[in-house]
Chain A
Amino acid sequence: MPDMSSQTDSPADSSAIAREALRISHVKFRWDPTQPPLVYPEITLDAGEHLFLRGPSGSGKSTLLSLLGGLILPDTGTLSLLGTDLAGLTSGQRDRFRADHVGVIFQQFNLVPYLTTLDNVMLPCRLSRKRRRRALPTAEQEAESLLTALGIPQSHWHRRVTGLSVGQQQRVAAARALTGGPELILADEPTSALDSDNRDRFIELLLGLAAEKHSSVVFVSHDQSLAERFDRQLALQVTP
């Protein structure tokens, strides 16, 4: 299984000095050949900048995140992360690239049910050597300090995640996305299942910790009231 054990660095190693978190130009994508393609505007995001992305259902928000995560490739146009054109990588290299440089938070059910809270947070460090190296002082200690910062009671750290509340689960997911300081964090409506208190606290903690680690956050939400906290905003339209 060469794909699993190979530790060779992807060609994206120059990314360490990249100023640019992501650049999208002329990107089109369609899931179904009979449907009109999703067309994306030009997007450029500098390292450390946060982007708020909104748009109605069907405007391709989640698809954009899949494209940014390298799980799918655009039909046309170029999409580069940290100066690396994802189309130039094999699917295995894109998996590795994602493990090394991208953190992800979903809307809900973010955690692997059979792992403890701490193991869930440390998962990226086990999948990526780069993330593990950047987790300081150690993967475990960084995970613990992130959990502390995100207000997860220590009594939950070594227990399975099934006992956590939804708000706690989302914060654990944030900790996992942040650990090892990835350059880019993709958040797909992470606050939609939270009440307003939890939501505000979540955004604050996420953006604060991302700033500490110099990570860019791409945040997808319906909730316009959150937009002001972000450096950049973008509204996607439904393709006619």
Chain B
Amino acid sequence: MSIRLAFSLALASLWYRRKVLALVTLTLTLSITLLLGVQYLRTEVKQTFTNTISGTDLIVGARSGQLNLLMYTVFHIGDATNNIRWSTYQKLQDDQRIDWLVPISLGDSYRGHRVVGTSEQFPEHFRYGRDQKPALAEGEWFNEVFEVVLGAQVARKHGHQLGDDITLSHGGGRTSFSNHRDTPFTVTGVLAPTGTPVDQAVYVSLEGLEAIHIGWESGVAIPGRTVTPEQALERDLTPGSITAALVGIERKVLTFQVQREINGFRDEPLSAILPGVALSELWRIMGQFETALLGITGFVVITSLIGLIAVLLTLQLQRRQEVAILRATGASPLLIAALHVIECVILAVAACGLAVITGAAGIAALSPWLLETWGIQIGLRPLNPMEWLIIASVPLAAFLVGLIPALQAWRGSRKQGLGHVVPE
């Protein structure tokens, strides 16, 4: 009965002081939302990040570090140290153990977006997320030399539609002075948003890249040696080299064997990396930052808990008479102390509940915008054990800090006379 009494008194007391306490609860709610939000985004971003590429067993490029190779092939950041010969690519194609190959040729750009030269193997074998295909939002994959498929972001940002003609630039960079003006490409397809670097890229055929570089062998267009699209189509457009290749292995157990052999390839120096391993190495570097962020938000929660205690201790001065009445009516010091702890925990639980609701509403409201604008794919999901732990730890912390005013009230009420506060 006394537990029930303590709860009903605590609730009535909280409601009575709701104006002051609403502000502290709001502070606590916001800080918990922040903490949960950071934790949530952390796992979601990591998920998205590690899902940037899937289903690919090896990435093969010119000899370099695995992070560099991963960065330029998957994230389109940085440049290749060297190319690999077409003959090498063909040799890999002949290897019985290799199931499929997706050629990747980089080097050009379209208004700051990477141009990826590839083949029809790309939509066939490239996977991201949980074995998801890069789906076309509209149109179809390129068939002809001068056709291009745009990533979702590229199309959205520049307002491109099917049938638009676009001009690719030579080299990277947002503004390029050497454009392949003579050889425009026609948009035949736009990809659906994936939340990966695919959204930021432009896809053309290897032959297309070869065609626009006729007469550009020295790095710039040499007047008189460039060709019109019609002339280009009459040439042999087999590429001389590509930048990298994504490799699918027929029997997964052979992956390491194939990797070893490619790394020791005789004709030219090659590197073969396991994308999963490289991704987790990359995440380990970036993970430092997000752990620090989580730590900072943890301190924010602690700060607002201290604020809560400051307010409760101030309120305690106003509560002396109330405590005297309860004591005189027969309430034990323990009941008085329990009252304080219960109030503290109720506030914390309320703040946690509000934080979950705020967070969920925030994510639900922002996720379409995040995907559209930033290409970050974040959806609502059930809370994971780590997040439950955070939510559970807040009332627990509130219980512990609630012991401070409770202990003070307990000691005070033991020394209290009937209706009078006894001087120490």
> Which residues of A pack against B, CB within 8 Å?
1, 3-5, 7, 31, 62-63, 65-66, 69, 71-72, 91-92, 95-96, 98-100, 102, 104, 106-107, 109-115, 119, 123-124, 126-129, 160, 176, 186, 188
**Inside 8 A of A5's CB, which chain B residues have their CB?**
1-3
Contacts of B322 in A (CB 8 A): 112-113
**Which residues of the partner chain B approach A176 to less than 8 Å between Cβ atoms?**
329
Known contacts A4-B338, A119-B12, then 9 further A-B pairs from the complex at CB < 8 Å, ordered by chain A residue = A5-B1, A96-B330, A102-B330, A107-B419, A112-B322, A126-B5, A127-B2, A128-B330, A176-B329
Interface residues of B in 9-25 (CB under 8 A from A): 9, 12-13, 15-17
Give the 3 A-B residue pairs with the shortest CB-CB distance, closest first. Answer: A99-B330, A114-B16, A66-B417
- B376 interface residue, CB < 8 Å from A? no
Chain B interface mostly helix, strand, loop or mixed?
Answer: helix
Are the CB atoms of A4 and B330 closer together than 8 Å? no
Count of B interface residues, CB-CB < 8 Å: 34
A-B contact count (CB 8 A): 104
Contact with A along B330-360 (1 / 0, CB 8 A): 1111110010000000000000000000000
A102→B328 CA distance, assembly (Å): 9
B248 shortest CB reach to chain A, Å:
65
The reply to whether B1 and A7 contact each other, CB–CB distance below 8 Å, is: yes
B3 to chain A, nearest CB (A): 6
Shortest Cβ distance from B333 into chain A, in angstroms? 8
- Residue on A with the closest CB to B318? A113
User: Can you list 24 A-B contacts with CB-CB less than 8 angstroms, sorted by A residue number?
Assistant: A1-B2, A4-B3, A7-B1, A62-B417, A66-B417, A71-B328, A91-B414, A95-B327, A96-B332, A98-B328, A98-B329, A99-B330, A100-B330, A104-B328, A104-B329, A104-B419, A109-B321, A111-B325, A114-B12, A114-B15, A127-B2, A127-B330, A128-B330, A176-B329
Closest chain B residue to A186, Cβ basis? B418
B418 to chain A, nearest CB (A): 4
A4 touches B332 (CB 8 A): yes
Question: CA of A110 to CA of B110 in the docked complex: distance in angstroms?
Answer: 80
Within 8 A of A (CB), among B288-340: 321-322, 324-335, 338
Contact of B1 among A102, A126, A186 (CB under 8 A): A126
Contacting pair A31 B422 (CB below 8 A) = yes
What chain A residues lie within 8 Å of B9 (beta carbons)?
Answer: 112, 115
Are B418 and A65 closer than 8 Å at their CB atoms?
yes
**B5 to A69, Cβ gap below 8 A?**
no
Q: Which residue of the partner chain A has the closest CB to B335?
A: A4
B3 x A1 contact (CB < 8 A): yes
